Structure 1
Amino acid sequence: MSARALRWGASLAVLYFAIGTAVAGSFSVDPVRLTLTAGAPIVALAIRNSGAEAAVIQLEPTSWTQRDGVDLYEPTRDLIATPPIFTLPPHGTQIVRLGLRRASDPRAELSYRLYLVEVPPPPPPDFVGTRVALRLGVPVFVTPATPSAQALQWQLVRRPDSKLAIAARNHGALHARIQSVSLSRNDGAAVSGQTIADDVHAGQERQWLIQGSAMPAPGSTLRLSASTERGEVSADVVVP
């Protein structure tokens, strides 16, 4: 496993990261974000079992949409993943191949998530307690024929509960991976900053509550700086 491996100690995990290797319990998946294109309609990923016991893993492809800032998942037949179910021996590796059954959208990116779900064995007769199956999700993106440049529109919004939030609307044809965002005054003094690690789908908007209490008065202009998967971006935003 690489030095960039990310570890998760919970018994139930649904994880996705920009780089490195994601780990849930004793399982790891590499790579952790998949992209299908017209030139590469099939991709492969490696699932590794670092544990001392064999495990049965089932693959569950889902569509991934966003509505009002909420991620929605539904079972889909758009993706084919083989083998759909397999046994990982202790310290073993399984190569899974993933392909698209349908044609890509010529204008907009398609988004999916491939879940790897552990099928727990029957408990022994003397077992007392609850066993939770491991579950790990891998984002899958299908690029359009003519990808566009990143186009994010930023603003500050006041929610119904009077709390302030940063809003990003994606006007591009590809998802935007927002890794961190910060606000500063004109003199460079920091107002707030936070790690986000969220995806904003094409044509969608997401909001994040502002972490920090030293907000200037309404009508003040702040400088917003964001780190994204495709580079650094900045914009002037007004406090509502």
Structure 2
Amino acid sequence: MMRLLRIVVLTAGMLSTFVVAAGSYSVYPVTLGLSDARPATTLKVRNSAAAPVTLQLAVKQWQQPDGEDDLQETRDIIAVPPVFTIAAGGEQIVRVGLRKRDTVGREQAYRLLVKEIPSENGVGQGLKLALNMSLPVFVLPERPVTAELAWQVRQRDDGQLSLSVANPGDAHFKFTEWRLLAKGSVIAAGEKLRYVLPGARREWSTQPSRPLAKGDKLHIVTVSAGREQRTSAVVE
């Protein structure tokens, strides 16, 4: 049996504003939001290294067919400058703009890829690794949208549980932790950043700490931005 859980999605101006660092450079914010009302935004990139760093940008359309992330070429969004070099201790402002207006009434997802181009004249000895980032970009429609989560728990022949969550809603859902409870006790848990895009389904397997039977009642707890969401499910 699948249980639906409706999640309200934050507007573009309320998306994550944490700083993420990838070795020699950092970016802020780490999630970008665009809409018809706000068709452009900025990204700050800072180089904390003692040498210049050259970065290249690309925007990809982000979908999840068959539950897996899939990135495709797109011209819906532009990021400029596409290639730039930041001096040691310097900053670069990247402008991200929407080329295509919303026509589907559902949140659209993209990824802004930040790729470090290794210097051919590196300073010092040793191996210099190129560091890359992939930042979510969400384009929100004019109307309010929500994520609707439908959970399903199936018992497998090998004793493991198959957990799946479908999102028939019009906005994404992100969670960093999950716990599976039976009679108030945690029987399985995990920590991994997962996105469930509109219209997508994600599925994974887990080994419970004790055997379960079909028909057992469970609670599923997810943690998103420090907030817990709880729903019930029945083992199928």
1:75 and 1:160 map into 2 onto residues whose CA distance is: 40
Question: Does the CA-based 8 Å contact 2:161-2:207 persist in structure 1?
Answer: no
CA distance in 2, matches of 1:159, 1:71: 25
Choose between structure 1 and 2 for higher RCO, CA contacts under 8 A separated by at least 6 residues. Answer: 2
Q: Aligned-pair distance for 1:158? A: 4.5
Query: How far is 1:107 from its partner?
Result: 1.5
Instruction: Compute the displacement of 1:162 (Å).
Output: 6.1
Deviations 1:47-76 (A, max 9, x none): 010000001111111111111110011222
Give 1:123 shift. 5.0
Q: CA, structure 1 residues 19+211, in 2 after alignment: closer, same or farther (shift >3 Å)?
A: farther
TM-score (norm 2): 0.84
Deviates more, 1:107-116 or 1:192-201: 192-201
- Partner amino acid for 2:66? D
Aligned-partner residue type, residue 41 of structure 1: P
Partner of 1:206: 202
Q: 1:58 aligns with which of 43, 48, 56?
A: 56
Residues 61 and 159 (structure 1), Cα distance of their counterparts in 2 relative to 1, 3 Å cut: farther
Structure 2 CA distance for aligned equivalents of residues 140 and 94 of structure 1: 19
Which segments of 5 or more consecutive residues in structure 1 lack a partner in the other structure?
1-16
Letter of the 1:145 partner, please give it.
E
Contact 1:82 1:96 in 2 (8 A): yes
Contact map agreement 1:147 1:173 (CA 8 A) in 2? no
Give the C-alpha shift of residue 238 in structure 1. Answer: 1.8
Q: 1:160 to 1:30 in 2, by over 3 A?
A: farther
Shift of 1:22: 1.2
Q: After the TM superposition, which residues 163-182 of structure 1 pair with which residues of structure 2 at under 5 Å, given as runs?
A: 163-182=160-179
The normalised TM-score by structure 1 is: 0.83
- The answer as to whether partners of 1:49 and 1:89 remain within 8 angstroms in 2 is yes
Letter in 2 for 1:236: S
Q: Whole-Å Cα distance in 2 between the matches of residues 221 and 85 of structure 1?
A: 53
Deviation (angstroms), 1:115: 0.8
2:186 pairs with 1:197: no
Q: What's the offset of the Cα at 1:96?
A: 0.4
Q: Distance in 1 between matches of 2:204 and 2:54?
A: 38
The residue identity in structure 1 corresponding to 2:44 is A
The reply on whether 1:224 has 2:220 as its aligned counterpart is yes
Does the 8 Å CA contact 2:220/2:232 hold for their aligned counterparts? yes
String of CA shifts for 1:64-93, please: whole Å, max 9, x gaps.
111111001122221111111111000111
Structure 2: which amino acid aligns with 1:174? Answer: A
The ranges of structure 1 where at least 4 consecutive aligned residues each deviate by more than 4 angstroms after the TM superposition are 158-162
CA contact 1:225–1:234 (8 Å) conserved in 2 = yes
Q: Per the alignment, in what secondary structure is the counterpart of residue 198 of structure 2? A: coil
Q: How many residues are matched?
A: 221
For structure 2, the 5+ residue unaligned runs are: 1-14
- In 1, distance between residues paired with 2:176 and 2:207? 15
Could you say if the C-alpha distance between residues 213 and 220 of structure 1 is closer, same or farther in structure 2, counting changes exceeding 3 Å? same
Identity %: 35
Task: Give, in whole Å, the separation in 2 of the partners of 1:225 and 1:85.
Answer: 42
AA in 2 matched with 1:214:
R
